[in-house]
Homo-oligomer: A and B are copies of this chain.
Amino acid sequence: MLFAIRMDVNLPVDMDPTVKADTLLREKAYSQELQRSGEWLNIWRCVGEYSNLSIFDVEDNERLHNILWNLPLFPYMRIDVTPLATHPSAIAAPAPG
């Protein structure tokens, strides 16, 4: 089941550099693990913004919330969720790729 997720990151300008570096490292590892397992299909940077647009393919709403809630950057993010369905004009299966 596909979802488009936009994440806007807002780090405090006075965030402790060590905490910041550690959080970003953990965020990257967390994201890449989910990309490898096939639930986080795509992640793109929105040009000029500390934001990303991502496509998730998950079992259900519970799983999606569990993934997002545990993002290391979650306390610093505004997240917007758009459930997706197959478009009648799509030539491919609903899952990208």
Binding site for B on A (CB under 8 A): 1-5, 11-13, 27-28, 31-32, 35-36, 41-49, 52-53, 55, 60-62, 64-66, 68-69, 75-76, 79-92, 94, 96-97
Closest 6 CB pairs of A and B: A97-B97, A65-B85, A44-B84, A47-B83, A48-B79, A48-B68
Main secondary structure of the interface of A (DSSP, over half): mixed
**How long is the Cα–Cα vector from A36 to B92 in the complex, in angstroms?**
10
Could you tell me if A89 and B47 are in contact, using CB atoms closer than 8 angstroms?
Answer: no
Residue among A35, A44, A92 having the largest count of chain B Cβ atoms under 10 Å: A44
Across-interface contacts of A86 in B (CB, < 8 A): 44-45, 62
Could you tell me if B97 and A45 are in contact, using CB atoms closer than 8 angstroms?
Answer: no
Across-interface contacts of A32 in B (CB, < 8 A): 89, 91
